[in-house]
Amino acid sequence: MASSTATLCAHDTKLTREQLALVPTPPGTVTHRPIPHVEVVNALVETLGFRHIAVVRDEYALDRTGNKMFGVLDLDTGMEGCRFSIGIRNSHDKSMRLALTVGYRVFVCDNMAFSGDFEPVLAKHSKNFNLVQAVSIGVDEMQRNFDGMRMTVEAWRESQLPDVAAKLVIYRAFIESEVDFPKHLARPVHDLYFNPTLDEFQPRTLWSLSNAFTCAFKQLDPVPQFRATAKLAPFLETATAGISR
């Protein structure tokens, strides 16, 4: 069992919840109590269930040490063409706080985008840390963002972008390095936006541009993909501010 678990932790591969339960948790200290990744996920699923929100699909990924975990849980609520998702992260090595963020997954392309970066809405793993209480607070906060997410998606669907504006956004994302999106994805994003294969993304809108980015991000390993998608929405809002649509 120890050998197979070590192998599991050595690759950026997507894991099921059952596989996540096999990941070892390092011993704690007087001031730091690592919480098993699967324990965090189970607490989240239970908290959602108390609010009558079901998880229809979930997937997880580890960094190469097994200490950092990222995951996405798709929910049974959303809007036309989209399903809300929760992004979750946890670490055993104090490198980042346990955190949640809310986003959406596009049905037709099966890709995801988070509305904001992973915010440290939950406390550090101190000896007095209450997991259930922290997750409950985080879920309540995200539920309050559901209506805002619906409004954002509808606004992006209606936001027409001149071609020169879309090209400028792509240039800023990859050439000016305003965010650390992998530069080799510049061409795929450009092609997916200007030559879309699906009718839904033919219109030259901010929604279609967002889809081009998230589709291109699917080429990344799971952990980098989760990180990139978490940064996308705030980048697009900033990069397109003031553009005539």
pLDDT reported for residue 120 = 60
pLDDT digits (tens, 9 = 90+) for 157-175: 999 999 999 999 999 999 9
Instruction: Considering only residues 223 and 12, tell me which one the structure prediction assigns the higher pLDDT.
Output: 223
Q: What is the pLDDT of residue 109?
A: 76
Question: What confidence score (pLDDT) does residue 126 get?
Answer: 66
State residue 97's pLDDT score. 84
Spell out the alpha helix ranges (H) of 24-162: 37-50, 131-143, 146-158
The candidate with the shortest Cα–Cα distance to 73, out of 10, 20, 1, is 20
Contact assessment for residue 23 and residue 16, using Cβ atoms and an 8 Å cutoff? no
User: Of all residues in the chain, what percent carry a pLDDT higher than 70?
Assistant: 89
pTM above 0.75, yes or no: yes
- Which helix (H) or strand (E) segment holds residue 72: the answer is strand 68-79
pLDDT of 6 reads 31
Average pLDDT over residues 235-245: 78
- pLDDT of 141-157, one tens digit each? 888 888 888 898 899 99
Summarised one tens digit per residue, pLDDT across range 182-220 is 999 999 999 999 999 888 899 999 999 999 999 999 999
Domain range summary for the chain, segments of one domain joined by +: 2-152, 153-239
> For residue 116, how many C-alpha atoms fall within 13 Å in the half-sphere facing its CB?
14
Measured CA distances, 147 to 116, 141, 144 (Å): 15, 12, 7
> 110 forms bridges with which residues in the sheet?
none
Q: Which neighbouring-strand residues pair with 75?
A: 55
Q: What pLDDT is recorded for position 3?
A: 30
